[in-house]
Amino acid sequence: MRWVIRVGVSLAVLVLLALGLLAMVPSERIAQAVSSQFEAMTGRKLQIAGEISPRLWPTLGVTAGAVSVANADWAEGDQPLFRAESLSIDVNLGALMGGEVKILGLKAERPEINLERAKDGRANWTFAAAVAEGGGVGAVPPAATGFTLDDGAISGGTIRLDDRQSGRSIALDEVDARLRIPDFSGPFTLTATALSGGQQVALDLTGEAFSAFAMGRVVPLRANLFAGGSKLGFEGRGGYAPPAAEGALTADLADLPALGRLFGSELSRPGPGLGQDRLQASGQLTLDGSGAAFLRGATLVADGNELKGDLDLLPGEARPKLKAQLTAGPIAIGTGSGDDTGGGSAGGMQAEGWPDSPIDVSALGAMDAEVALAAPSVDLGVLKAGPTRLMITVDRARAVFDIREMQAYGGQVSGDFVVNGRGGLSVGGRLKLAGMQTQPLFTDLAGWDRLISTGDLELEFLGVGNSIDAIMKSLKGKGAVELGRGELRGLDIAGMLRTLDAGYVGEGQKTIFDGLAGTFAMEGGVLSNSDLKLVAPYLTASGSGRIGLGERTLDYRLRPTALAAEDGTGGVMVPLLVTGPWAQPRFRLDLESIAREKMEAEAKAAAERLAAEAKAAEAAAKAELERRLREELGVEVAPDESLEDAAKRGATKALEDQARRALEEILGGN
């Protein structure tokens, strides 16, 4: 940007010199002379399409028609770097006669500025210098060529920046700006207003030692930037070639979408607890000239949450990377007072379902991150935790929350939780919950407070969708639960079995148990279980069925057995069906199944009795055949020999004996 300032000064000086030297020469020759000198100094062609008109009264000056400065030869497209409908310059005649350049006014009407950075880092606003500091073709007048500017202005302008190195594009319309430099070596001011995506933006900049600043050096600066409802303030020292700064930064980021548009990024409005109503930052900012930014002693405020620590924003090939060490006070997310339909919010819990408002996680793609966070408590609206330490890693819109420490519901949580914003939203993780108190956990999670116990839970899950409702209806995974001594309120299973009355439900009813365990699988938002075991005084139970996590429904069958013998046999068993919505489950004793099971048992017993009788008859017949073989044929049946084989063996032996006797009689008769 240093060259932009120098080119403007050079243009003004050249036009003024042309006016003084060529006052009696036709305007065409003035335009030609100015263009030639400008091209020799910058390497870019200056074209003055309109007539150059000198003025002697009331001030010495010149007005040119349409003016344009050629773009770099490598730039894409055919747009010039700079173009204006007209350019007007007024100078102090007395100062000019004394060798000073005091510009009273410089005004460009409806200028168009097209800035471009190539992938290799070349910028079209940097003008080549053919030789070193001494001058020559391509050289710009050195900083010692002083001047003053009482009032420099542009009106109705446009600025376009196409940064193909970072992939960002910035567009400003209706740009009105004023630059005042009363002393070339002294302070200067710049004020500007524009529209960014239809949103008003403004800049108020005050600096010291303009001559040093114009050369790209660091000077004292105070700046305020406004974009919609957002404001950035800086007071310290800064320069622009390369961008460098050191000083106090204050930021009110109440309108992130407007600020994002200004810098060529798409930022959404945060959800409650993340800055929906209030988002501020402050600290000591350092820009080291390499593109990195460091914020030390930072304070970040998001709604009622406050975080402190140090942040480093480092440039990357595809996107910047944030590294931070943060400590926080109590954190509450998803509990703001504003509209819960904003980005990043799940919305309020619906009466008969999960929140279905969209969750916008597009901000995950803005940068990568490695953030260490510690907080004394975390309230996520539906879940709460005590002291928490997390390592948050973001890579290409995929965030991993590695839980280093989390105390919750009287127990400990470990594992990881993933939010993946690549091509939609998915969440997943592997969590272990040890020593958790079930009543407050399920009360917060699902509004269900009937299970009172302490136990362990292992869970592996994956859900896909852009709302909590969609995620819950897509959940898949697996897990296991094991609970110690506790009670199930609102249901007296033993009373139901004792009286065969399903009315043992409601206030004052409960089932006390010594332990409960089981495993489960999830698919399509439905949890399936087939091995639930419950052990209670005078009662045991097994269970199987389905729990609709997405639809919030129950279809479960318990098989409790009461008053069984010590060896587990006998007792009263009546299946209990639990169906309906979570909020109002229905309990029904499956008496029909008892009759059905009794009939099935009787039929099975009859079949077993008939089979035993047939087997006994078969054994008796076999014994009789063995006796006859032994008595009539003298054949003993071997243990591994069938009756048929024994009979054949006996018959063969009898025939052989008879044939031998007949042969002996014949031979004996001879």
Radius of gyration for the chain, computed over Cα atoms and rounded to the nearest angstrom: 45
Q: State whether 472 and 606 are in the same domain.
A: no
Residue type, 152: G
- Higher pLDDT: 98 or 309? It is 309
Phi and psi dihedrals of 604, rounded to 5?
-65, -40
Lowest mean pLDDT among 51-65, 146-160, 457-471, 519-533: 51-65
Reply yes or no on whether the pLDDT at 336 is more than 50.
Answer: no
Q: State whether 80 and 115 are in the same domain.
A: yes
Q: State whether 453 and 485 are in the same domain.
A: yes
- Higher pLDDT: 634 or 531? It is 531
Domain boundary among 152, 182, 202: 152
pLDDT tens readout for residues 409-438:
999 999 999 999 998 899 999 999 999 999
- Can you tell me the distance from the alpha carbon of 78 to that of 270, in angstroms, rounded to the nearest whole number? 40
pLDDT, residue 206, reads 96
pLDDT, residue 36, reads 75
Lowest mean pLDDT among 177-181, 205-209, 520-524, 535-539: 535-539
- Can you tell me the distance from the alpha carbon of 140 to that of 9, in angstroms, rounded to the nearest whole number? 10
- Higher pLDDT: 24 or 338? It is 24
Which DSSP state fits 633? Answer: I
- Can you tell me the distance from the alpha carbon of 177 to that of 109, in angstroms, rounded to the nearest whole number? 11
Reply yes or no on whether the pLDDT at 116 is more than 60.
Answer: yes
What is the average per-residue pLDDT within 467-488?
Answer: 94
- Can you tell me the distance from the alpha carbon of 385 to that of 403, in angstroms, rounded to the nearest whole number? 12
Q: List 312's β-bridge partners, or say none.
A: 294, 323
Q: State whether 636 and 542 are in the same domain.
A: no
Q: Could you give the angle at the alpha carbon of 334 between the alpha carbons of 331 and 340, nearest 5°? A: 150
Q: H or E segment at 247? A: strand 243-252
Reply yes or no on whether the pLDDT at 133 is more than 60.
Answer: no
Q: State whether 633 and 589 are in the same domain.
A: no
Q: State whether 414 and 557 are in the same domain.
A: yes
At 50 the three-state DSSP class reads coil
The answer as to whether 334 is a domain residue is: no
pLDDT tens readout for residues 393-405:
999 999 999 999 9
Reply yes or no on whether the pLDDT at 25 is more than 90.
Answer: no
What is the average per-residue pLDDT within 473-477?
Answer: 96
* Predicted structure pTM score: 0.72
The answer as to whether 398 is a domain residue is: yes
- Higher pLDDT: 42 or 17? It is 42
Domain boundary among 572, 594, 616: 594
Q: Which structural domain range is residue 434 located in?
A: 389-594
Reply yes or no on whether the pLDDT at 448 is more than 60.
Answer: yes
Reply yes or no on whether the pLDDT at 50 is more than 50.
Answer: yes
Q: State whether 502 and 643 are in the same domain.
A: no
Of the pLDDT bands very low, low, confident and very high (cuts 50, 70, 90), residue 444 is: confident
Q: State whether 632 and 538 are in the same domain.
A: no
The answer as to whether 443 is a domain residue is: yes
The answer as to whether 661 is a domain residue is: yes
What is the average per-residue pLDDT within 347-360?
Answer: 68
Number of structural domains the chain divides into: 3
Q: Where are the alpha helices (DSSP H) in 376-499?
A: 438-446, 468-472, 493-499
- To the nearest whole number, what is the mean pLDDT of the chain? 81
- Higher pLDDT: 130 or 587? It is 587
Whether a cis peptide bond, with omega within 30° of 0, leads into 54 is: no
pLDDT tens readout for residues 499-516:
777 778 878 888 899 999
